[in-house]
Amino acid sequence: MRALVSSAAALAMLAGSLGTAAPVGANEPVLHHVRYTVTANAPIWSHIYYRDTEPALFSDYSHNPYMFSPRADAEVGPGQPWVLEAHLADPNLWAMVAVQSGEAPNFPVPGYSCELAVDGVVVKTDSGPKGALCSIRNW
């Protein structure tokens, strides 16, 4: 009799849990706000590569990395930053911005800086005379 009562209680609990629906979006990843900022010490035309989407599979990225790292061409300089905001599920793996001069090699050295912020916190900065790379992951 005791086994019958335990089985009935277990069935009642199982039926109750089956009738409870999961919240909408429960399986969707939490997206983090990512903000990329690129500046230069002097006005200069620049090539900026960034990541604002993530591949479903890493093999998708490895087969075509430029599909997930588009290039923006922009003039940056003092008081003229390039800023892009994105939302990524795994910024530790995918957040990245890199900048280099779009001018001829003999153009004066611009002195670039980049900043990578995730959810309002600056997590990476870099600077260099001819380019800069901000990424949490070591590439």
- The closest of 101, 118, 113 to 51, measured between CA atoms, is 118
Number of folded domains in the chain?
A: 1
Does 1 map to a domain?
Answer: no
Range of weakest confidence among 27-31, 49-53, 83-87, 112-116? 27-31
Q: What is the CATH number of the domain that holds 114?
A: 2.60.60
How far from each other are the two terminal CA atoms of the chain, in whole angstroms?
65
Does 3 map to a domain?
Answer: no
Q: How many other CB atoms are found less than 10 A from the CB of residue 116? A: 23
- Per-residue b/e over 64-80, b at no fewer than 16 CB within 10 Å? eeeebbeeeebebbeee
Does 94 map to a domain?
Answer: yes
**Which is higher by pLDDT, 66 or 32?**
32
Does 25 map to a domain?
Answer: no
62-118 pLDDT, tens digit per residue, is 888 888 999 999 999 999 999 999 999 999 999 999 999 876 555 667 799 999 999
pTM over cut 0.85: no
Q: Which domain holds residue 82?
A: 30-135
